[in-house]
Amino acid sequence: MYTSVHYVIVAKSITTVTCEIQVRTLMEEVWGEVDHKINYPHRNESVACREQLLALARATSSATRLVDAIFATVADVESKAAASEVKEKSNTKPRRRR
């Protein structure tokens, strides 16, 4: 259920420097922090902890999808409002001055 994206960057100058950039959502960061506290540097062998982390991973994934859906809905509503405004302006006939 881990969906973060990792990029390895290599910069070559006088010496070679390598770094990793992790791109993840805020919710993935929450899960990652909790998982890291419990499983680093050694994996926790508690079945209860593993089950709870799995539940947190699922909740994280669901929350990320919900946030994406909220932003998509807002974008859709704003797009329809803008299209309606353009349509209203194009349907208005200019007034003649006397």
Name the residue ranges covered by the structural domains of the chain.
25-88
Amino acid 4: pLDDT:
86
CB 23 within 8 A of CB 49: no
In 3D space, the residue among 1, 42, 46, 41 whose CA is nearest the CA of residue 24 turns out to be 1
pTM: 0.66
Q: What is the pLDDT along the chain (98 residues), one digit of tens a residue?
A: 677 899 999 999 999 999 999 999 888 899 999 999 999 999 999 999 999 999 999 999 899 899 999 999 999 999 999 998 888 888 766 666 66
